């Protein structure tokens, strides 16, 4: 039996303590943010607040139109971005080499797209979707802009997940005579579903928290949208407007922020639960 020097044990304890401090700081930041919003906004939280229309520039009434607009923006942006992200990630991970010029160009483009400020993406969305494509200020324009913003996040996470799958699974599939298509869709993607759901959670968080880009694309009105071609105000834009432009709207801003945080938590928990169920089903 080999005994390590005592200084190794001390270094291990110091490192463990530093990591514990870092994790506690992250938890403390979230707890402080959540409880501040909860204390300031719980008085506004009610069934009537969630299901009624906004009144008096948001000072009174509820947030039903903003919730519907946020849900439509989120759903439509994911419907647009997720298939493109999965297809691009499969191409980068399974059909290209990292040294090929085309794959390097795609990765460079993704890095550039991920680093573009949201306000610039909003201006692009306004110039291209609102003006050039004549979609106007609409849910569709906002969703297309959000889809472009979350594409790098989704593609990179899904690609890394596929690359981290051991090659032994690909070799076994090839030995069994499975085609590349069947290997990807019957073996690799089911094994990568946890990473896909993690990317989905990150994309949902990015899309729901976006404000600047939606000011230029989805619009600013507080009425209930009838179709995706109508203008709609997201919850994040509503919070920004109440806190910055509406005197006396701070209480309603906190109430809307609390609903947004609870909505995000619910979606994250639900997505994580679905991912675990799919993982267990694929194992059994």
* 279 neighbors 194 (Cβ within 8 angstroms): yes
Residue 20: predicted pLDDT:
92
How many Cβ atoms from other residues are within 10 Å of residue 39's Cβ? 11
Instruction: Supply the angle between the helices 6-41 and 250-283 in degrees, to the nearest 10.
Output: 130
Longest dimension (CA), the chain: 76
Residue 7: predicted pLDDT:
58
Q: pLDDT for 36-89, tens place per residue?
A: 888 888 888 888 888 888 887 777 888 888 889 988 998 999 999 999 999 999
How many Cβ atoms from other residues are within 10 Å of residue 146's Cβ? 30
Question: What are the CA-CA distances from residue 137 to residues 69, 129, 208 (Å)?
Answer: 13, 9, 18
Q: Encode the chain in three state secondary structure.
A: CCCCCHHHHHHHHHHHHHHHHHHHHHHHHHHHHHHHHHHHHHHHCCHHHHHCCEEHHHCEECCHHHHHHHHHHHHHHHHHHHHHHHHHHHHHHHHCCCCCHHHHHHHHHHHHHHHCCHHHHHHHHHHHHHHHCCCCCCHHHHHHHHHHHHHHHHHHHHHHHHHCCCHHHHHHHHHCCCCHHHHHHHHHHHHCHHHHHHHHHHHHHHHHHCCHHHHCCCCCCCCCCCCCCCCCCCHHHHHHHHHHCCCCCHHHHHHHHHHHHHHHHHHHHHHHHHHHHHHHHHHC
Dihedral over alpha carbons 214, 37, 251, 223 (to 10 degrees): 30
Strand partners, 60: 55
Burial class (CB in 10 A: 0-12, 13-18, 19+), 142: buried
Residue 85: predicted pLDDT:
92
Residue 1: predicted pLDDT:
45
Residue 8: predicted pLDDT:
63
* 159 neighbors 110 (Cβ within 8 angstroms): no
pLDDT in tens, the chain (284 residues): 444 455 567 888 888 899 999 989 988 988 888 888 888 888 888 888 888 888 877 778 888 888 899 889 989 999 999 999 999 999 988 888 777 788 888 888 888 888 888 888 889 999 999 999 998 899 999 999 999 989 998 998 898 888 888 888 888 888 888 888 888 888 888 888 878 888 888 888 888 878 888 888 988 888 888 888 998 888 888 888 888 888 877 888 888 888 888 888 887 777 777 767 766 665 55
């Amino acid at each position: 039996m080999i005994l390590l020097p005592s200084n190794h044990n001390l270094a291990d304890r110091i490192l463990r303590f530093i990591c514990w401090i870092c994790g506690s700081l992250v938890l403390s930041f979230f707890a402080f943010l959540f409880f501040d919003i909860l204390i300031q906004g719980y008085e506004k939280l009610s069934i009537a607040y969630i299901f009624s229309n906004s009144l008096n520039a948001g000072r009174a009434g509820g947030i039903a139109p903003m919730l519907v607009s946020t849900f439509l923006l989120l759903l439509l942006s994911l419907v647009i971005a997720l298939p493109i992200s999965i297809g691009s990630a499969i191409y980068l991970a399974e059909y290209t080499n990292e040294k090929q010029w085309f794959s390097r160009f795609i990765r460079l483009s993704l890095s550039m797209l991920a680093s573009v400020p949201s306000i610039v993406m909003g201006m692009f969305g306004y110039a291209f979707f609102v003006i050039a494509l004549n979609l106007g200020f609409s849910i569709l324009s906002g969703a297309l802009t959000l889809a472009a913003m979350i594409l790098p996040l989704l593609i990179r996470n899904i690609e890394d997940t596929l690359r981290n799958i051991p090659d032994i699974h690909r070799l076994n599939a090839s030995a069994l005579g499975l085609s590349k298509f069947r290997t990807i869709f019957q073996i690799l993607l089911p094994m990568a579903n946890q990473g896909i759901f993690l990317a989905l959670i990150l994309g949902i968080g990015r899309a729901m928290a976006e404000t600047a880009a939606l000011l230029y694309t989805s619009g600013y009105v507080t009425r209930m949208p009838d179709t995706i071609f109508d203008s709609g105000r997201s919850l994040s834009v509503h919070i920004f407007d109440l806190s910055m432009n509406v005197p006396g709207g701070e209480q309603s801003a906190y109430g809307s922020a609390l609903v947004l945080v609870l909505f995000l938590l619910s979606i994250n928990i639900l997505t994580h639960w679905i991912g675990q169920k799919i993982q267990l089903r694929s194992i059994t």
